[in-house]
Each structure stands twice: as C-alpha cells, then as structure tokens.
Amino acid sequence: MRGRRKGLKYGLLFLIAVTSLFAFSGRSFCEEEAVKIALTTSSFRYDADRKTLELDVTVKNMTSVELEGPGVMVTLYGPGDKLILQRSFRARRVALLPGEESEVKASFFVEGPFYDVRLTALEGMGGG
C-alpha cells in the first residue's frame, strides 16, 4: 500500500509539472501568434497605359507597445499562379504607438498582366 501511495504522489507531481509547462508555453505561443500590425484600409489602381500600379494602404498597431518600421509587402501573381513581383514599402511613420495608424503609398511599374494582388502587413522595416 505504501509503494502505491508513493507512486501516486510522484504521478500527481509529474502531472502538475507537465500542466504548468504547457500553461507557460501556451501563453508564449499565443503572444507570438497575436496580430501586431493590421491592414485597416487598402485600395489600388492599375493604369494599363503607363503600366503602373498605385497602392494606398493604412496599417495599424494592434499591440500595447510601440512598433518600429511598419510597412506592407505587395505580392503580384500572374497566369498559372506565377509570382510576378514582390516588393515591400515602408509606412510614412517610422514607428507606431499602440492604436496608431499610418499610410503606405506607392506607385510602381508592372509589365505584364497580373491576376492576384496580396498585401501583407510588416514590422521591423529598416533603411533610410
């Protein structure tokens, strides 16, 4: 009977340790998966004569801390889901306080036809 209680004690201690480990690691995974920068508005216009794509996007800081280097990545796909172009652009503001927004405006040359425009919000964009 005594050996059974000892085994039960160790089993319970192991269960508590494993549960605590998952609780702490689960919290850190959730923080990593949380949205930091969101696209709140977006519009684009393609001028076929000049072959330029004009982009106007607004990004917003969704965290409770200041974020450096907000921006957006633009990815264009053509026929057959072929990658045509991928470029990133910085927002007008170099940092965003919690809840703040900033505009990203860009105009760039696109040679061929494209079928899909994908926008991805970014942070940490450096440069001058």
| β-pair partners for 52 | 47, 109
pLDDT value of residue 38: 94
What is the residue-averaged pLDDT of the chain? 82
pLDDT value of residue 11: 55
Nearest CA among 121, 127, 126 for reference residue 36: 121
- pTM, 2 dp: 0.69
Average of per-residue pLDDT across 101-116: 91
CA atoms within 13 A on the CB side of 118: 13
Residue indicated by tokens 């005594």: 2
pLDDT value of residue 1: 57
pLDDT in tens, 57-101: 999 999 999 999 999 999 999 998 999 999 999 999 999 999 999
pLDDT-wise least confident of 30-39, 48-57, 70-79, 110-119: 30-39
Instruction: For residues 70 and 39, give the distance between their C-alpha atoms in angstroms, rounded to a whole number.
Output: 11
